[in-house]
Chains A and B, each alone.
Chain A
Amino acid sequence: MTVLKQQQTSGSRSETRRRGSPRGSKWTPYLFLAPAAVFILVFQVVPLVQEIFLSFTRTSLLNPTRSTWVGLDNFTRVFGDEDFHRTLLTTFIYVIVCVAGSVGSGLAVALLLNKGFRGRGWARALVTIPWAAPGIAVALIATWMLNPDYGIVNRFLDAVGLGVPGGAILDSPKYALPAILATTIWQLFPFTSVVLLSALQSVPADLTEAATVDGAGRWWTFRAVTWQVIKPTIGLLAILMTIWSLRRFELIWLMTKGGPVGATETLVIDLYSEAFDSKQLGSAAAIGMVGVVVSLIVVAGSRFVARAAEREAR
């Protein structure tokens, strides 16, 4: 709807523009567009089509030019595999906890920083550090902090009597995923909190004041006023965090390689080891497609819900 409206208005505008300037022809937009379009076509669209094709074939990494068409074989085999069910479950847990954890902690931090106090600018800047730090460096320092023998985390846990036996958190099927989740959320919360902070600052102060004057409690004011204003931002962040979590590779790969015994294997990790360890390009592509389709469903679904809500509101 809105897109259509926009196009109509800008269309009529470019009508006048064309009459106003004889040198801009109807080819002008394509000239601006062409270099980038060729680029995206060559480096994104063509490889993607190739990858889709691969997912219907049996192809070995060792002899990638020889593909045998196997139809939906890769998909049926992958979905029939117990290990893949576990991968799906791990991915699901990873995404849900990342989204809830990063948005929840981001909101808490944003509320903390929303009131004015001395040094707030500094606090705000320092909080962004985890997000700015390169993923490789984060994986490195996290691995060192979790080192079984000399890592500061184990020393601390031992000191307060909560030590993991043997101390090898990243080698433990029970604790590896929580450790990876904690590292991921640590890296994401600055982003969500800065975005939510700017949303909070658009909450009209007179509205919250009016609510307080009317004798509303803090919780009620939050739900009736603040929450209503930041709800769209929360939704937007949830989608963004979902897409990012479904794509995230290097943090998990460098910390655990998906181990121990598959405890931290998400779809992307599974696809990479299927391609480069098992050398099966076909089933690797099939696994990758599952992830892309999940992303697509999330984005399309959320747009659908948002539009329905918009219609409701009208």
Chain B
Amino acid sequence: MRIYLLGLFLLAFSQFACAAAKIENWQTPQGTRVYYVRTEGLPMVDIQVVFDACSARDGQQFGLAALTADLLDTGAGKWNADEIAQRFENVGAQFSVSSSIDMATVSLRTLTDKPLFDKALETMQVILTKPVFNEADFKREKNRTLAGLKQQEESPAELASIAFYNTLYGKHPYAHPESGVIKTVAALKSTDLRHFYQKYYVAANAIVVIVGDLSKQEAEQTAEKLVAGLPVGKKQEALPDVVMPLKSTQQHIEFPSTQTHVLVGLPGTYRKDPDYFDLYVGNHILGGSGLVSKLFKEVREKRGLAYSASSYFIPMLKPGPFMVSLQTRNDQTAQAMQVLNQTLTDFIAQGPTEAELVAAKKNITGGFAMRFDTNKELSSYVAMIGFYAMPLDYLDTFQQKIEQVTAASITDAFKRRVDPQLLQTITVGKSAEKSAK
């Protein structure tokens, strides 16, 4: 979900930049915003309907939003789960529903050949507007969710991530896992899902994204058809603000694994953050650029302490996490954490060198075209722009904004936004081996 882009490169490149940014936008009569990009060459289209209806809207019923989304294609209109699956798969269409913290996304990938397209679209429309939340389906999917939650507990990485969000966000709705926790999911009833659906799956709370080989007129009809059956409803209220932690904490979860998973971080940046580009480029240098980042070099290349060592910001509606992570053999956890913390605090104190900044800008700008060279990637960019109501020229101006970043602006932004005194640390692993060292 991170964004990049940019391009100061050559002719073909700048032509592409223009084409990539050609997002058309309008509203359906019900007030749903539509974002459309025409791509040619393949007879297919990706359609997404995105609702502000995910785990941040769970209230105290953690897991409610995700289970509601799961139930959508298990029965709708007069069709059961089998009939729905057959309708899509008979025409080679791929349908899925996914949930993140901010967004519930209903996706369809289909061929554009009319009879095939029409059948897939009709099925999607009924799923969106007439899900039945039948009791038998509800029980089954709830049990499957509960099994999944149980299975999470066998993964040190999952346990670390759950504890990390909990620690960073406390009582904020970003604190709990998207699929909920066993206790709250077990308590859900099918009527809870129906009520959630009625409140959140409404036209005013949705956007439609269409990327593919459809004409503008076809795209208009498609969007209109998809949401026409939804009540207008109202847009959801803003989420509460994130409260920053007051001081550093450390939490260790004892777990019988061979490695200790380490997560360090704090609430970071949000989509419309004025510091976003400074933080983005800075993090690219620190731990966001794969095989060449500072963390990767210090932890892996120089010392062989971990297979992966990275950092990233997850920008959301409200500040999502800034997260630095690695996994290492239990008995060298202390050493690895020392290197991680040193690398991080040095970077906050000193910022990047001019050479590092130049290299990072070259990487981001030179790779601009690859960020959305498939329909699939382009759709998720457009969905991000639409959902977070970013300006339509976001892609066009991104390049300038990256170029405007300086070593001083990165240092300034990191100093203000990543206070070492407020970092939260989670470790999951076997500490007995640590002390035996």
Q: Does B bind A?
A: no
